[in-house]
A and B are shown apart, each in its own frame.
Chain A
Amino acid sequence: MLIRFEVNGSAVEVEAEPRLTLADCLRHQLRLTGTHIGCEHGVCGACTVLVDGDAVRSCLMLAVQAEGAKVTTVEGLSDDAELTPLQKSFRKHHALQCGFCTPGMITTAHALLSEEPECDAGRVREVLSGNLCRCTGYIPIVEAVLEARAAYQQKTPA
């Protein structure tokens, strides 16, 4: 069936089987391969995207459910010219090694910091505990997210 939604600010139209997941739709139909698939059962968080601003596991959502929604992927949170403050902070703290969990971490952290720019380390750990990373041990990721808070605090002054 034909579905219409918005991805990273652009309107898209996709012919999708009802059983197609949003993750497969983004990756294989729209060729936005920054969103990764790690488990297809909603545990690892690698496929996290933003749907109308909320962090969502795109492997647990059908593409047809995105009808009319605004979807943002890691590509939509990136800039060609330079890294965003969140990405810079990840790089500085060595918060990624193999890079496979990274898009899900970036989207999850972006959603958290957009809503709660004052969050503390405990809250960061709690929210990120839904995203698995097998390389870093998480400590540098938490440090990176905490340092990136400043950029979000400026954006949305309390």
Chain B
Amino acid sequence: MKTVNAFIGSPIERLEDLRFLRGRGQYVDDLARPSMLHAAVLRSSVAHGRMRAIDTAAARALPGVHRVITAEDIGAPVPRVPMRLQPLPDFVRFGQPVIAETKVRYVGEALALVLADSPAIAEDALALIEVDIEPLPAVADSRASAADQSLLFEETGTNRAMLFRATRGDAAAAFKDAPYVRRETLRTARHMALPLEPRGLLAEWDAARGKLTVSGGAKVLFFNRRTLAKEMGLPESAVEYVENDVGGGFGARGEFYPEDYLVPFAARLTGRPVKWTEDRREQLMCLNHAREAECEVEIACARDGTILGLRGHVHVDVGAYMRTNGAVGARNIAQFMSGPYRIPNIDIDVALQLTNKTPVGTYRGPGRFETDFFRERLLDMVARDLNLDRVEFRRRNLVSRQEMPYQIATIRPFDKEEELDSGDYHATLDRCLAEIGWAEKAKLAGKLIDGRYHGVAVACFIEGGAAGPKETARMVLEPDGMYSVYVGSSAVGQGLETAFAQIAADALEVPMERIKGVFHGSTSYVSDGYGAYHSRSVVMGGSAMLAAAENLRTAIREAAAKRFDCNHEQIKIVDGRTAVGPNGASIDAAELAGEGISVEGAFLNSKHTYTYGAHAAHVTVDPKLGHVELIDYVIIEDCGRAINPLTLHGQAIGAAVQGLGGAFMEQLRYDEDGQLLTGSLADYLIPTASDFPNIRAVVLDEYPSPINPLGAKGAGEGGIIAVGGVMANAVANALSSLCVEPRQLPLSPQYIWELVQQAHPAIAVVDAARGGRIESPANTPPTGA
């Protein structure tokens, strides 16, 4: 009997849930080892200063304290956190030492590591360390940074870490002759991924075997192993990185942070297991921040609404150091400002400005959330100027299905060409409008009903995925006839075990019960791995599994061919269980397995997938309080091929709510001295269960990606990317009678209230009627936000 498999595409309940629901997940802080020491990190309370002295004597004298580690113990030169993505030579000079050496450059930077019998004693000891820092003027924002008055790295002579430039066509020429140009200055605020589980690490040094084991890894285990092995002078094979259950990643967790060196160093130094668990305050000041950008952008259009060009200058506040993936957001802002639209002439530069704040890294939809806000906000302003319907204006400019693959701007200093892979962008826009009931809802636009203005908006997005270069999977036919799957991909809570079991079962043509397990999260499982980032796991790991499954089936046929003394091509595998020879003779796969048949498969890729779609929203705004209520929200995305619609739908809804946090609530605030003012969850607000109850998502798989055998596209970020833009446009639409144009995120009640207070309808009407060259009314934003 042939097993007809269709696990791919089925909304299968998750395998992971069985342990999580019972409280049996095993997160890194759940681990304990005999004779384990607990680490606590002393962090700088000064944003910018020169280290003069550090006195640890009193801390060392505290009973229960075993050791206090400072830069001196590590020795010069202190290792630097490397760049993982865009490892351009120019970034090296802005690298972060794993412990402050001569200067401190942000509040939260590690100064010392205390090892003690308990976390409480370790924290007690922190208070006994005396630190002498000569304060220097703090660089609090990217404008101050660009002035180069106070330098973070004096020897470089600049606070600018890099200038990326995205170009296509001839923007100067397009703008010169354009009948309509509008210039705007738009801003997004610093916020962060904030996974619910804080970070943690447990390092164990086996002196006899010369082996280091680090638990608490996530996302990119193999890169972190390479980095740690190199910095500690160990062969890669002597380091094992282990991933436990991971309480959310969203891009921030799992990168190589200073603690990824300090904790293993402490374990080797003391010969005892060392555990460190981040607390929430530390997370808010140490985990990568993201999204702080200011964009001066100009758009040129023909009178009929055809976009002719886009150009501008962006300043991204990258914080105090360039580390691991800190350039990705800025790069993406430049390259993806055109989004899903046909924009023939582009010239956008992005300056990465160092400031005395926590370094930045990727956060779900890095750069895309920001740039979608800039672009979609601008498009609605243009539509209003040119008296065009917002939807028709977008339709006119969306890249069409016939134009695929479609080349977008090239980014320098990379010079890698990039193209949108496939899809029907108009179809998702139309579907989105139909789902939200645009025709009816649009009638409410701008209406004041019971003290609240109604607004509707729609925005389009693309989401990149499938970063190469490679992923590896290993499949094993076990002696009991079951199949085990080992992958180089990582789980960060996204349901990888279930989705991968579905793919493996289909590839092997066996029931899911025959998949003994999907094993991930150790650098020992496969020869090489690249992990989970850039929405790559399903495309890269899934495709690697297809390759491994094919190799395994060949290996099984070869084993059977030996038994039956025939060519392996004459062997048929039935139900993934029985090998049948040319004469009808058959043998159970389990019998062939012997000690197990194990093969690897790999998938190599240099292109990217582009999931795409549209978001639409209906809001009401209270002009007296600045409060926005989300009445309805619809997400439509096409991800090429849905592996598990249940979990995919969950990704879309969850991402949208995270995005609504960024659109309305979340902001990491600093004062002018570089002090973080939002160091607790009482100050840094994220959405709760009562904030956004009305969100719907429809995930389609109409247009498979041509660049991988599954046809899948990276998904999981699309739900967040368009949120800022669509919400700002909905608020603008609601308050259109007051000519309110939000120019920054978050749309806090105070900011909206200030915009209402400052509204000058008469001036705005003159602007609109002029319809020529228009600039933001002022470059100084209101104080609120």
A residues neighboring B (CB under 8 Å) = 17, 19-20, 27-28, 31-41, 43-44, 46, 73-75, 78, 83, 87, 90-92, 94, 96-103, 106, 121, 124-126, 128-142
Count chain A CB atoms within 10 A of each CB in B29, B247, B695 and give the residue with the most.
B247
Whether A101 contacts B26 by the Cβ 8 Å rule is no
Chain B nearest Cβ from A29, distance in angstroms: 11
Nearest-neighbor residue (CB-CB) of B30 within chain A: A33
A11 to chain B, nearest CB (A): 20
* Contact assessment for A94 and B650 in the assembled complex, using a CB-CB cutoff below 8 Å: yes
The answer to whether A134 and B680 touch (CB under 8 A), given A96-B17, A97-B494, is no
- Return the chain A residue nearest B247 by Cβ: A100
The reply to whether the CB of B13 lies closer than 8 angstroms to some CB of chain A is: yes
Residue numbers in A under 8 Å from B22 (CB-CB): 34, 74-75, 78, 83, 87
User: Would A78 and B32 be within 8 Å (CB), given that A41-B280, A41-B681, A94-B646 are in contact?
Assistant: no
Dominant SS among interface residues on chain B: loop
CA distance A98 to B197 in the complex (A): 9
Question: Which residues in window 13-31 of B have CB below 8 A to A?
Answer: 13-14, 16-27, 29-30
State in angstroms the CA–CA spacing of A43 and B197 once bound together.
13
Binary A-proximity of B645-688 (CB < 8 A = 1, otherwise 0): 01101100111111000000000000000000000111000111
Whether A17 lies near B23 (C-beta < 8 A) is no
Contacts of A137 in B (CB 8 A): 653-658, 687, 692, 695
Q: Find chain B residues with CB under 8 A from A142 CB.
A: 689, 693
Question: Are B690 and A91 in contact (CB-based, < 8 A)?
Answer: no
Measured CB to CB, the closest approach of chain B to A49, in angstroms, equals: 10
> What's the minimum C-beta distance from B710 to chain A, rounded to whole angstroms?
21
Residue of B16, B32, B196 near A101 (CB, 8 A) is B196
Q: Is the CB of A34 within 8 A of B23?
A: yes
User: A39 to chain B: which residues have CB within 8 Å?
Assistant: 279-280, 680-681
Partner of A43, one of B120, B656, B680, B692: B680
A106 to B25, CA, bound (A): 14
Which residue on B lies nearest to A99, using beta carbons?
B20
What residue of chain B has the Cβ atom nearest to residue A128's Cβ? B689
Residue contact B32 to A31, C-beta cutoff 8 Å = yes
Whether the pair A134, B13 counts as a contact (CB closer than 8 A) is no
Which residues from chain A contact B691 at a C-beta distance below 8 Å?
129
CB distance from A35 to the nearest CB of B (A): 7
Question: Within 8 Å CB of B337, what residues of A?
Answer: none
Which residues of A sit under 8 angstroms from B688, Cβ to Cβ? 128-130, 132, 138
Our pick among A43, A78, A99, A125 for the contact of B690 (Cβ within 8 Å) is A125
Nearest-neighbor residue (CB-CB) of B13 within chain A: A91
* A151 → B minimal CB distance (Å): 15
Residue contact B197 to A90, C-beta cutoff 8 Å = no
The residue on B at minimum CB distance from A136 is B654
- Judged by a CB distance under 8 angstroms, whether B151 is at the interface is no
In the assembled complex, B511 has its CB within 8 A of some CB on chain A: no
* Bound complex: CA A133 to CA B654 (Å): 9
B250 at the A/B interface (Cβ < 8 Å)? yes
In the bound complex, residues from chain A placing their C-beta under 8 Å from that of B120 are 17, 19-20
Given the complex of chains A and B, what is the CA–CA distance between A38 and B282 in angstroms? Answer: 12
Q: Are B29 and A78 in contact (CB under 8 A)?
A: no
**B residues less than 8 Å from A19 (CB atoms):** 120
CB pair B493–A99 under 8 Å, yes or no, is: yes
B97 to A: closest C-beta gap in Å: 29
Q: Say yes or no: is B245 at the interface (Cβ < 8 Å to chain A).
A: yes
Residue-wise, chain B 506-536 has the 8 Å CB interface mask toward A (1 for contact) of 0000000000000000000000000000000
Question: B251 near A: Cβ within 8 Å?
Answer: no
CB of B21 within 8 A of CB of A102, answer yes
In the complex, which residue of chain B has the Cβ closest to the Cβ of A142?
B689
Q: List 17 extra interface pairs beyond A74-B23, A75-B22, CB under 8 A.
A: A38-B196, A78-B21, A87-B22, A90-B17, A94-B649, A97-B493, A98-B195, A100-B195, A102-B21, A128-B689, A129-B689, A132-B686, A134-B195, A138-B687, A138-B693, A139-B695, A142-B689
B254 to chain A, nearest CB (A): 12
Complex contact B198–A38 (CB within 8 A): yes
Q: A38 contacts B13, CB within 8 Å?
A: no
Contacts of A91 in B (CB 8 A): 13-14, 17-18, 21
> Which chain A residue has the least Cβ–Cβ distance from B661?
A134
Rounded to whole angstroms, the CA-CA distance of A28 and B494 in the bound complex is 27
User: Number of B residues contacting the other chain (C-beta, 8 Å)?
Assistant: 56
Q: Which residues of B contact A136 (CB under 8 A)?
A: 650, 653-654, 657
A128 to B687, CA, bound (A): 12
- Taking a contact as CB atoms closer than 8 A, the residue among B21, B247, B655 that contacts A98 in the complex is B247
Q: Is the CB of A90 within 8 A of B21?
A: yes
Return the chain A residue nearest B119 by Cβ.
Answer: A24
Q: Residue B16 contacts which of A17, A38, A43, A99 (CB distance < 8 angstroms)?
A: A99
Task: Please name all residues of chain A whose beta carbon is closer than 8 Å to the beta carbon of B16 when the two chains form the complex.
Answer: 99
- Whether A94 touches B14, Cβ cut-off 8 Å, given contacts A34-B23, A44-B196, A132-B196, is yes
Contact of A135 among B25, B654, B689, B693 (CB under 8 A): B654
A46 to chain B, nearest CB (A): 6
Sorted from nearest, which 7 A-B pairs have the closest CB atoms?
Answer: A34-B23, A98-B493, A99-B20, A100-B247, A137-B657, A74-B23, A33-B30
> B194 an interface residue at 8 Å Cβ cutoff?
yes
The answer, yes or no, to whether B492 is at the interface (CB within 8 Å) is yes
What residues of chain A lie closer than 8 Å to B25, measured between beta carbons? Answer: 34, 99-100, 102
Q: What chain B residues lie within 8 Å of A102 (beta carbons)?
A: 20-21, 23, 25
Are A125 and B689 in touch, CB under 8 angstroms?
yes
- Beta-carbon contact of B196 and A133 below 8 Å: yes
- Chain B residue with Cβ nearest A106: B21
Q: Are B656 and A100 in contact (CB under 8 A)?
A: no
C-alpha gap A90/B492 in the complex (Å): 19
CB-nearest residue of chain B to A92:
B13
Given A36-B27, A38-B280, A125-B693, A44–B492 Cβ distance below 8 Å?
Answer: no
Inside 8 A of A75's CB, which chain B residues have their CB?
A: 22-24
Q: Is residue B771 contacting chain A, with contact meaning CB distance below 8 A?
A: no
Complex CA distance for A129 and B250, rounded to whole angstroms: 22
- Any A CB within 8 A of the CB of B734: no
Cβ A134 vs Cβ B194 within 8 A: yes
A133 to B29, CA, bound (A): 19
- Chain B residues with Cβ below 8 Å from A27 are 29-30
- B197 and A100 contact, CB distance less than 8 A: yes
Q: How far is the CA of A31 from the CA of B33 in the complex (A)?
A: 12
Contact A100 B693 (CB under 8 A): no
Could you say which residues of chain A place their CB within 8 Å of the CB of B656? 137
Q: Is the CB of B657 within 8 A of A138?
A: yes
In the complex, which of the residues A44, A102, A130 has the most CB atoms of chain B within 10 Å of its own CB atom? A102
Report how far A40 CA is from B448 CA in the complex, Å. Answer: 44
Does B248 have its Cβ within 8 Å of any Cβ on chain A?
yes
- The answer for the CA separation of A99 and B120 in the assembled complex, in Å, is 27
Contact B658 A40 (CB under 8 A): no
Q: How far is the CA of A139 from the CA of B736 in the complex (A)?
A: 31
